């Protein structure tokens, strides 16, 4: 992974030295909005901006704190070194997983902006064509057995590789236009020694997200038998 200093307080990360025309302006939503290159926006904790630049379709995401701390500090993090930043750690992990051939979106670039002991960050990834989250899919209709099994098998691939996901939920599991399954958002994720305890904690968190969305959405096609099918495929793939 290539680190480039754009200014004394700006550090750009890219997968390799061939960064092309990527500049700090790439990390400004206003830059893309002014050129009418933003073709979609998705809101959650924060807004993700989908933009088109030449042949590249990408997603720009700013780092925001969650929970009670986020109400006070919002997007500010304590700076203790570039490799300790959440931006660097997520981007490095994504580069590693992408190179391994795991189904993650391609990392394009990330930026750390430092001001004294405080830093803020942004990350750009390649957009999946025709992407739809698992949550969106379940609002539209039920999943067939084949799709449920593929989700379980995909999650087992990550766990067998020792990939811990800090926020595994149904909004962080995507389908692309070819119906392939991807996992996104590896903020605070890491590679660990494979172990049943944290693996099951990951899956329990996913189960809670199904239950949470089922209680929030007026239409949500999810049943207990679907979870059992997904978990059976997960366990089988994890074993073999």
Catalytic residues: 167
* Closest CA relative to residue 223, chosen from 144, 151, 152, 168: 144
Print the SS3 string covering 155-223.
HHHHHHCCEECCCCCCCCEEECCCCCEEECCCCCCEECCCCHHHHHHHHHHHHHHHHHHHHHCCCCCCC
Burial of residue 61 (number of CB atoms within 10 Å: 0-12, 13-18, 19+): buried
CA distance 147 to 239: 20
DSSP-based helix, strand, coil % in the chain, nearest 5? 40, 25, 35
């Amino acid at each position: 992974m290539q680190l480039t200093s754009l200014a004394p307080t700006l550090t750009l990360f890219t997968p390799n030295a061939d960064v092309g025309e990527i500049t700090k302006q790439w990390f400004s939503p206003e830059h893309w909005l002014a050129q009418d290159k933003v073709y979609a926006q998705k809101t959650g904790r924060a807004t993700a901006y989908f933009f088109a630049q030449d042949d590249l379709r990408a997603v720009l995401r700013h780092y925001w704190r969650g929970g009670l701390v986020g109400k006070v500090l919002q997007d500010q993090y304590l700076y203790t070194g570039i490799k300790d930043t959440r931006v660097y750690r997520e981007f490095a992990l994504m580069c590693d997983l992408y190179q391994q051939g795991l189904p993650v979106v391609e990392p394009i670039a990330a930026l750390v902006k430092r001001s004294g002991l405080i830093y803020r960050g942004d990350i750009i990834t390649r957009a999946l064509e025709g992407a739809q989250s698992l949550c969106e899919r379940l609002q539209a209709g039920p999943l067939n057995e084949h799709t449920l099994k593929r989700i379980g098998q995909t999650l087992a691939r990550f766990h067998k590789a020792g990939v811990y996901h800090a926020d595994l939920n149904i909004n962080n599991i995507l389908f692309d236009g070819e119906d392939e399954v991807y996992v996104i958002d590896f903020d605070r994720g890491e590679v660990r020694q494979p172990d049943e305890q944290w693996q099951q904690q990951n899956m329990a968190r996913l189960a809670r997200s199904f239950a949470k969305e089922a209680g929030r959405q007026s239409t949500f096609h999810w049943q207990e038998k679907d979870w059992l099918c997904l978990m059976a495929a997960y366990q089988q793939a994890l074993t073999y």
